[in-house]
Each structure stands twice: as C-alpha cells, then as structure tokens.
C-alpha cells in the first residue's frame, strides 16, 4: 500500500514527501538525480524521522521501473519526474519530449500492467498558453504553448485523457501549478537550481546571499499595478498539501479531474521584492531591464474548484514564502552542495 513518488527528491517532490510521511503514508521514491541530490534524502529524514524507500531509476526505463512495481505494492502514483527549464527545452526539444512524455508513457503502461488505478500529475499553468483574461479557470481554453517544455505538459494532459477514456477504472488528478516559491520552515529543504536561476524567487535569494549583484526586473511597462509582471506565487508547502488533497479526492473514484493549484491572488515582481525586503529586513538591489521574451502581463488562478471539490485552500502567504525561501538559502548558500 505505497505511494510511488517519481521525482521525489526534487523541489516540489521533496516537500510533498515530507507531507506524506508526516501523514503516515508509505512512500517509495524514484528519481534519477538529473536535477536533484542524494542529500535530499538525509534532509527528509532529519525533518520527519522517517526514511522513504528510494530507487535510483530513470522513469523512461521501462525494464528498471517495472522491477520497482514488482517489488513494491504500489496503489497510487504522484508523477513529478520531468525536466522543467523553458530555455533548455527551446535548445533541446527532443530531450524534453523523450524525458517528459517518455516517462509518462512508461508509467501509464506499468499502471495498466500492475492494475494501479490512481495517479496525480504535475501539470502547469503554462498549458493555458498566452491568457486573454485572468483569473484562469480549469475550463478555459488550453494550448498555444510558447515553448517545448509547456508543450510536453499539454501533450501529457492529452495522454492522460486518452488513458482515462480507455481505462474506466482509472482515477487521475491533473494539477496545474501556478508559481511555487518558498521552502520548508526548517530551512533543510528548498529549491536548488543549477547555474543561473531562471525563475524570480531563486534569483532574489541569490542576490540576497551575495551571489549576484542585483535582480534584473524584466520590464516595468506591463499593464499591471506597477508595470511589472504579475504572477500567482504559491508556497511550496501549501502546494505539497494540495497533493494530499488530490490523493484523498481520488479515493472517491472521480475518474479524471483537473485542478489549478494557486492562491488566486496576483503579486507583481516589485511587490514580491518589497515583501522579501520586509520579511527579511534587508534591501534588495534591482535594475529595470527590457521585457523577457514570452512573458505575459498577468497570470493568476481561479481557485474555487480545488476548494469546492477537494477542500484545498492555501494557508501561507507571500511573506511566509519570502521568509522561508531566505531561511533555506541563507542556511544553504550552495544549496545541497556543502
Ligand atoms: P525538480 O527539477 O526540482 O524536480 C523534478 C525531479 O524529477 C528531479 O529530482 C529530477 O532529478 C527528477 N527527474 C527528471 N526526469 C526524470 C526521469 N526521467 N526519471 C527519474 N527522475 C527524473 O522540479 P520541480 O520544481 O520539483 O517540479 C516537479 C514537477 O512539477 C515537474 O514535472 C515540473 O515540470 C512541474 N512543475 C513545476 C513548476 C515549478 O515552477 N517548479 C511549475 C509547474 C509545474
Ligand atoms: C516561468 C516559465 C513557465 C514555467 C514557470 C515555472 C517563462 C516565459 N515562463 O514562468 O513556462 O512554467 O517559470 O518554471 O520562462 N522575473 C524577473 N527577473 C528574473 C526572473 C523573473 O523580473 O530574474 C519576472 C518575470 O518577468 C515574471 C515573474 O518575474 O514577470 C515570474 O517569472 P518566473 O519566476 O520565471 O515565472 P514565470 O515567468 O511565471
């Protein structure tokens, strides 16, 4: 009776594993460490006092993953494993297709073979493409993805929909994450990007820790409250909790369900900068730069469906996320590399 967590040593995966262990789930992690470190497992143990079973396996490797299914009694899957860099996906689209779509196909094949009915999938707000309105509802049109990474998420959503049509017993939760930020309050786990961060919060914390001279604010002429881009930043611990809500929802045998996971509230780049300064009592140098290609003015979620149907509601706010991101970064200036 175990939950298989693919990509369970990654940023969102590790926080979800902590929530699962703290709620007495039996957890099996599969990860190939392409974007994470073994040290994560020690940190999970420090936080929870529990050691999930771990297999270093590439999820695109059917034969190796099958051995895990043979050994473990898997009842549910949370599928985080995937590559997520927009820039890398533009340079190497085939890698993203092979890894992200390939691993999902292998998992679905094994679900079928081993009669595993329940799966939660990490999708993204990126499937909405360039939104013509906010907040975004699950029923809004999807498609028009602006990069190969986003396209893999959309394609996997369609794979899952086709699988659900053919497998009436399957229960599938597609979770569309908005912008996860923050870290576990212990400061022991958090986001550990390779190289120069693409995303806003890890860039901010690297400026704060002195690794980068200033933040580049990409554009101040958007049609927003202060001209800078607006996003829906959700604390990663709230996001992790959303996966437990989804597992519970799947116990009701709903078939395929889709939920946005966000706060429903937009925050601009400068609002986040100022919240970070206030929460951590420091000044953050920034420079206004040209817009980043592909960015949109505003993006935030309509969150009432996740609340009504699975009782999901965020508990933490932007200040909590700023404080926790900084605690993680300041305690681990080089991430998991000591
Ligand atoms: P992450 O890179 O920290 O975690 C992904 C994990 O999957 C890593 O530990 C990596 O080593 C592992 N992995 C990748 N390919 C694998 C494979 N073939 N076999 C086994 N393990 C593999 O990323 P994250 O931020 O934790 O994101 C988790 C999931 O959520 C991803 O699917 C991502 O696309 C999705 N998502 C993330 C965000 C975000 O902003 N972080 C937003 C929307 C959706
Ligand atoms: C980006 C990706 C999206 C992906 C998501 C999570 C792009 C165009 N979009 O979303 O597909 O699902 O990350 O990985 O890459 N910003 C700055 N300075 C920075 C970094 C960001 O001003 O150094 C601004 C951006 O212009 C944006 C906001 O901060 O307005 C958030 O950016 P980011 O964290 O990269 O997230 P998204 O653009 O929403």
List all residues 6 or more positions away from 92 whose beta carbon is below 8 Å from its beta carbon.
none
On whether the CB atoms of residues 297 and 230 are closer than 8 A, the answer is: yes
Q: Is the pLDDT of residue 98 over 80?
A: yes
Rounded to the nearest angstrom, the distance between the alpha carbon of 335 and the centre of ligand 2 is: 20
Q: Give yes or no for residue 34 CB within 6 A of ligand 1.
A: yes
Q: Is the pLDDT of residue 302 over 90?
A: yes
104-to-9, 43, 117, 158, 240 alpha-carbon distances in Å: 18, 28, 14, 11, 20
Q: Give yes or no for residue 299 CB within 6 A of ligand 1.
A: no
180, 229, 285: which to mutate for ligand 2, most atoms within 8 A of CB?
A: 229
Cα distance between residue 25 and residue 16, in whole Å = 11
Q: Which of 11, 128, 149, 259 is catalytic?
A: 149
Mean pLDDT across 296-322: 97
Rounded to the nearest angstrom, the distance between the alpha carbon of 53 and the centre of ligand 2 is: 34
Predicted local confidence at residue 111, as pLDDT: 98
Residue having the nearest C-alpha atom to atom 34 of ligand 1: 84
Predicted local confidence at residue 1, as pLDDT: 86
CA–CA–CA angle 261, 263, 267 (5° rounding): 125
Rounded to the nearest angstrom, the distance between the alpha carbon of 319 and the centre of ligand 2 is: 19
Predicted local confidence at residue 69, as pLDDT: 98
Q: Residue 29's closest CA among 63, 80, 70?
A: 80
**Least distant ligand from the CA of 297:** 2
Q: Is the pLDDT of residue 74 over 90?
A: yes
138-to-258, 262, 303, 305 alpha-carbon distances in Å: 7, 12, 9, 8
Which ligand 1 atom is nearest residue 153's CA?
A: 34
Rounded to the nearest angstrom, the distance between the alpha carbon of 12 and the centre of ligand 1 is: 7
CA–CA–CA angle 100, 145, 4 (5° rounding): 25
Mean pLDDT across 25-37: 98
Q: Give yes or no for residue 122 CB within 6 A of ligand 1.
A: yes
180 is written with which tokens?
């996860």
Mean pLDDT across 5-11: 98
**Least distant ligand from the CA of 128:** 2
Q: Give yes or no for residue 38 CB within 6 A of ligand 1.
A: no
Q: How much is the mean pLDDT over the chain?
A: 97
149 catalytic per annotation: yes
Strand-pairing partners, residue 310, are none
Predicted local confidence at residue 304, as pLDDT: 98
Could you give the 3-state DSSP secondary structure of residue 204?
Answer: helix
On whether the CB atoms of residues 157 and 320 are closer than 8 A, the answer is: no
Q: Is the pLDDT of residue 338 over 80?
A: no
On whether the CB atoms of residues 319 and 275 are closer than 8 A, the answer is: yes
Q: Is the pLDDT of residue 115 over 90?
A: yes
Q: Is the pLDDT of residue 190 over 80?
A: yes
Predicted local confidence at residue 294, as pLDDT: 87
E-only strand ranges, the chain:
2-6, 26-31, 53-56, 74-79, 118-124, 171-177, 179-181, 215-218, 230-231, 233-235, 256-261, 267-268, 286-289
For 107, phi and psi rounded to 5 degrees?
-60, -45
Of 31-40, 227-236, 312-321, 329-338, the poorest mean pLDDT is in 329-338
19, 35, 199, 240: which to mutate for ligand 1, most atoms within 8 A of CB?
A: 35
Q: Is the pLDDT of residue 61 over 80?
A: yes
Cα distance between residue 190 and residue 31, in whole Å = 17
Q: Are strands 74-79 and 2-6 parallel, antiparallel or unpaired?
A: parallel
Mean pLDDT across 195-216: 96
Which ligand 2 atom is nearest residue 124's CA?
A: 12
Residue having the nearest C-alpha atom to atom 15 of ligand 2: 86
pLDDT category at 196 given cuts 50, 70, 90 is: very high
């Amino acid at each position: 009776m175990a939950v298989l967590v693919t990509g369970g040593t990654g940023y969102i995966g590790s926080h979800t594993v902590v929530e699962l262990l703290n709620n007495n789930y039996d957890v099996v992690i599969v990860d190939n460490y392409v974007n994470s470190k073994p040290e994560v497992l020690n940190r999970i143990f420090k936080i929870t006092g529990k050691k999930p079973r771990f297999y270093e396996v590439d999820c695109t490797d059917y034969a190796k993953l099958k051995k895990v299914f043979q050994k473990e009694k898997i009842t549910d899957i949370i599928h985080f494993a995937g590559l997520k860099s927009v820039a890398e996906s533009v340079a190497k689209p085939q890698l993203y297709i092979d890894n992200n779509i390939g691993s999902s196909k292998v998992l679905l094949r094994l679900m079928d073979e081993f009669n595993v009915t329940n799966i939660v999938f990490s999708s993204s707000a990126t499937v909405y493409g360039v939104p013509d309105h906010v907040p975004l509802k699950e029923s809004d049109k999807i498609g028009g993805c602006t990069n190969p990474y986003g396209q893999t998420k959309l394609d996997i959503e369609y794979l899952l929909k086709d699988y659900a049509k053919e497998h009436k017993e399957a229960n599938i939760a597609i979770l569309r994450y908005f912008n996860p930020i923050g870290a576990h309050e212990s400061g022991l786990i958090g986001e550990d990007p390779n190289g120069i961060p693409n995303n806003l919060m890890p860039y901010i914390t690297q400026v704060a820790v002195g690794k980068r001279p200033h933040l580049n604010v990409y554009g101040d002429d958007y049609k927003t409250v202060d001209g800078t881009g607006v996003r829906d930043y959700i604390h990663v611990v709230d996001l992790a909790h959303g996966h437990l809500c989804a597992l519970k929802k799947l116990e009701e045998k709903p078939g395929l369900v889709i939920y946005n996971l966000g706060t429903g509230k937009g925050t601009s780049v400068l609002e986040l900068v100022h919240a970070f300064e206030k929460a951590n009592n420091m000044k953050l140098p920034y420079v206004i730069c040209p817009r980043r290609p592909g960015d949109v003015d505003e993006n935030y979620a309509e969150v009432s469906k996740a609340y009504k149907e699975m009782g999901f509601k965020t508990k933490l706010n932007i200040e909590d996320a700023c404080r926790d991101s900084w605690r993680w970064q300041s305690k681990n200036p080089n991430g998991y590399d000591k």
